[in-house]
Amino acid sequence: MKASKTLITLLFIFISSALVAQEDITKRYDFWVGDWDLTWKDPDGKIGKGKNHIVRILDSKVIQENFEALEGAYKGLKGNSISVYNPQQKLWHQAWADNQGGYFDFIGDVDGDKKIFKTKVQEINGKKIIQRMVFHSFHADGFIWDWESSQDAGETWTLNWQITYKKAK
């Protein structure tokens, strides 16, 4: 009898810890919600600055991004995105648009502790192009965001823009 109680207790602990360890996919991008001061290195080596205001809208089901580059080579760039979890597809989707005519449609992904949004493969002049945003290096006051591209369907990646996010004061 004692052995079966021990087995049941161990089984309960195992199942409970497995459930706790699972990510709630609907909250995958909650780390991003808030007000952020942004910095990056421009192509000329100078520091660019911006801000990003991220909120949950539509009954907290959608994450809305409000980006603005304030200084540097990208000064004047403004963009918005909406990100939403689709429970039927079990996927995150993001649509980005900006004041320079840019538009991207992304699908959410993870790679270890990296949170990712990436485009589908597009074949252009024989190259299989993918664009992606990678959120990583998380710490109490922020994280790093990388804009990367691949011309070989994701075999290799080129860093195009890296932004340091720091919680706004």
Provide the pLDDT for residue 161: 96
Asked if the model's pLDDT at residue 31 lies above 60, the reply is yes
Q: Give the number of other CB atoms < 10 A from CB of residue 163.
A: 21
The long-range contacts involving 108-116, CB below 8 angstroms and separated by at least 24 positions, are 108/28, 108/29, 108/83, 110/23, 110/28, 113/138, 115/28, 115/29, 115/31
Provide the pLDDT for residue 19: 43
Asked if the model's pLDDT at residue 162 lies above 50, the reply is yes
Provide the pLDDT for residue 20: 43
pLDDT 10s digits, 47-89:
999 999 999 999 999 999 999 999 999 999 999 999 999 999 9
| Spatial separation of the C-alpha atoms in residues 168 and 37, rounded to whole Å | 5
Provide the pLDDT for residue 149: 97
pLDDT 10s digits, 83-103:
999 999 999 999 999 999 999
Provide the pLDDT for residue 6: 55
What pLDDT band is residue 1 in, cutting at 50, 70 and 90?
low
| pTM of the predicted model as reported, rounded to 2 decimal places | 0.84
What pLDDT band is residue 3 in, cutting at 50, 70 and 90?
low
One CATH from 2.40.128.20, 3.40.50.720, 3.90.1640.10, 3.30.300.30 for 25-167 = 2.40.128.20
Contact 168, 34 (CB under 8 A): yes
Provide the pLDDT for residue 39: 98
- Break the chain into its structural domains and give their ranges: 25-167
Of residues 116 and 11, which shows the higher confidence score? Answer: 116
